[in-house]
Amino acid sequence: MSEAKAAAQPRTDRAGTELLAVDRLSVSYSGGSIVALEDVGLTVHEGEIVALLGVNGAGKTTLLRAISGLLGMHGGTVKGGSIRYAGRDITGAPSWKRVAAGISISLEGRRIFADLSVADNLRAGGYTRPRAQTARTMEEIYGLFPVLGKKRELAAGLLSGGEQQMLAVGRALMQGPRLLLLDEPSLGLAPLIVAQIMQMVTQINERGCSVLLIEQNVSTALPVADYAYVLESRRVAHHGPAAALMADDRLRDLYLGSAGEPVAVPREKVLP
Ligand SMILES: Nc1ncnc2c1ncn2[C@@H]1O[C@H](COP(=O)(O)OP(=O)(O)OP(=O)(O)O)[C@@H](O)[C@H]1O
């Protein structure tokens, strides 16, 4: 087996049952002329925060699209491999079935409805669920993001960048997910706000939701993650416990670069 193939195979010595298992996934765009992922393997175990790292164009968003069933609407096709979730093959399943099964995604760029109130944005996120359940989940989200509770009647377009990001994450939580996919929640935000968002990611996780966190900023993601994968040129180049990746000088030089110190979000089970 080539080194790249060996690297693409997920480790199995992790706690918790396997919730998501991506196996040798290959994806292309534009009728096959652009290969975005090749032989990618990744697992998320129940209760984990898994970080997916990599520079621009490495294929991170493509992997999230494939997992959430949104690939087709972006002109992408799965060319090989499989995606299993909670023991079932979902490789070809429509996105609504994946949502119903407990996979929620918060997309890069926030994509909130600027003219709708905060509350209506959240309601829109829970559109498939009964009203009573929606109301209960909204209160939980206001507990998690108190600022959204205070501004629930305000048009979402009037929120700050960080608050809009919280709203985007809150909306993804409205489906009561078992697996939350987060696409670069720190993008364009000030370090203090990023630290708050990461703190919330750990709180969401502590409430029982597994998380796959896409980040370009290694120093943001690794301190809160249990396990991490690094995508490089369409393939998994490295993977391992987040703490081990952080401690690896060679990886730090390669991927941390001048990104700075990790944000101050201690997570006991990762950082002693
Ligand atoms: N809709 C699309 N049509 C054609 N090519 C695409 C499309 N979306 C992404 N690509 C290409 O697929 C490759 C992987 O892109 P992708 O957006 O998945 O990377 P990424 O790691 O998420 O990058 P970024 O951090 O910039 O979002 C790139 O070469 C990109 O140009």
Tell me the per-residue pLDDT of 122-181, one tens digit each, with 9 for 90 and over.
998 887 777 778 888 999 999 988 999 999 999 999 998 888 988 999 998 998 899 999
Ligand 1: which atom is nearest the Cα of residue 75?
A: 1
Pairing of strands 227-232, 235-241: antiparallel
The amino acid at residue 176 is G
- Ligand 1 pocket, 60 CB below 6 A? yes
Of the pLDDT bands very low, low, confident and very high (cuts 50, 70, 90), residue 13 is: low
Tell me the per-residue pLDDT of 88-127, one tens digit each, with 9 for 90 and over.
999 999 999 999 999 999 876 667 888 999 999 999 888 7
Q: Span 17-27, mean pLDDT?
A: 96
Provide the token pair at 134: 């929606």
- Ligand 1 pocket, 33 CB below 6 A? no
Which pLDDT belongs to residue 205?
94
Which pLDDT belongs to residue 8?
42
Which pLDDT belongs to residue 132?
78
* Average pLDDT in the chain: 85
- Ligand 1 pocket, 53 CB below 6 A? no
Q: How many A from CA of 71 to the centre of ligand 1? A: 11
CB 39 within 8 A of CB 4: yes
Is a pLDDT exceeding 80 seen at residue 206? yes
- Ligand 1 pocket, 29 CB below 6 A? yes
